[in-house]
Amino acid sequence: PDTSGNATPLQQNLEKLGGRIGIIAIGVCVVIFIIGVLMDRTDPANPGSPSWLYMILIAVTLAVAAIPEGIPLCVTISLSIGCKDMVTKNVLVRKLAAVETLGSASVICSDKTGTLTEGKMTMVNLYAGGKGFDVEGKGFDPTVGKIRREGTSEDAGQELTVRSCLLSALLCCNTTLAKVKDPE
């Protein structure tokens, strides 16, 4: 199965790094091969062999040596150290990839207990166009609630800055909201 869509940013960057290193290594090996053939370098153990055969052996050896086998080990050790540091601060980490995800987060939203128990987050404040706004409502019900300027009762739901901010948030979101009736 294709898991490239589930790759973390670190995994994607490591994949790009590996590709770059591979391309550079192949380029260097081709240059070494051409220089060696032009200089007529032959195998010291077998001087009668053609130089191109010896230089192919050298180029392949260089290509194999250029592949960094220690990168995954270094990344795993770094993430493990981050996991250990988080455990000392009473953070429960179940997967090593979560350490990287939390490390790249700039804002973490949580409820009053510090957990995301229901997986539901509702907006209560909005900052748009240099102004603060209070968002009122009841969960996911779109028929209840208003957006007001911070500290006032003035309805600001039709202001251009608020509508632009909400439109950009909507366009960046892949969440779906559906009305489902209870079977009772």
Catalytic residue list: 111
Can you list the alpha helix ranges (DSSP code H) found in 39-174? 51-66, 71-88, 96-103, 160-171
Three-state DSSP string of 23-64: HHHHHHHHHHHHHHHHCCCCECCECCCCHHHHHHHHHHHHHH
Strand ranges across the sheet with 145-149: 125-128, 131-137, 145-149
Structure tokens belonging to residue 26: 């192949």
